[in-house]
Amino acid sequence: MKDQYSLLAPWYSSLVKFIFGQKLKEAKLCFLDDTKSKRVLIIGGGDGLDYAEIEADISGEYWELSDSMLKKAKANLQFSQLDFRLGNFEAGKKFDEVWLHFVLDTLPDEAIESLLEEIKLALKAGGRIVFADFFRPKNYRQKFLNQVMITFFRLVAGHHRKDLPDYSGFFSKKGFSKTEEQRFMEGWVKSQVWRLK
């Protein structure tokens, strides 16, 4: 499997911080409470740097498609109790919650449906998805940045999307309902909690 992030991995976090400051990190962490008592599934966590301050309280599995990103995550989260896996997630064990941060905006519709189906199988009863991603831009600057990001990742990382997904439609179709939400950057970025109905 080709590592589409091999060129980006060394400077990805620095680039994100330069453009967005701490906002994306805040969006990832805002609903991550009481992690010590939970078994978590992290899908597409990248280099894992944003989770480093809570690494001692994280146990579960960490799935990533990029080998170079996964190696960085292992180094950045070396004191966690995570089992690091390379490849597409397939349900096996059960988890209290799933962290799905800035992943769905990179996937084609059919891949989103397949992933959410696997996640349904992996969630324990009463479990939740902690989700964060980009939504419809709210001003000209955001529209410009949004289009630049989509084009950049299509060219550099081979992403297939040309637009942002209808997240709510996909979650609802798979039987999830939204229970919490927090907005960042005027709502361009949102963090949400989804639970099975």
pLDDT at 97: 96
Please state, in angstroms and rounded to a whole number, the distance separating the CA atoms of residues 184 and 132: 10
pLDDT tens for the chain, 197 residues long, are 566 666 666 667 777 788 888 999 999 999 998 898 899 999 999 999 999 999 999 999 999 988 999 999 999 999 999 999 999 998 889 999 999 999 999 899 999 999 999 999 999 999 999 999 999 999 999 999 889 888 877 776 667 778 899 999 999 999 999 999 999 999 999 999 999 98
Task: Confirm if 144 and 134 have CB atoms less than 8 A apart.
Answer: no
Please state, in angstroms and rounded to a whole number, the distance separating the CA atoms of residues 159 and 8: 13
Please state, in angstroms and rounded to a whole number, the distance separating the CA atoms of residues 96 and 130: 11
What residues contact 113, with CB distance under 8 A and at least 6 apart? Answer: 170, 173, 174
Task: Confirm if 97 and 127 have CB atoms less than 8 A apart.
Answer: yes
Q: Which long-range contacts (C-beta less than 8 Å, at least 24 apart) are formed by 30-36?
A: 30/182, 30/191, 31/130, 31/180, 31/182, 31/191, 31/193, 32/99, 32/130
Q: Which helix (H) or strand (E) holds 131?
A: strand 123-134
pLDDT at 92: 85
Ordered alpha helix ranges (H), 21-166: 23-29, 67-76, 109-122, 140-156
Residue 121: phi, psi to the nearest 5? -70, -25
Residue 73: phi, psi to the nearest 5? -65, -40
pLDDT at 61: 97
Per-residue DSSP letter, 160 = -
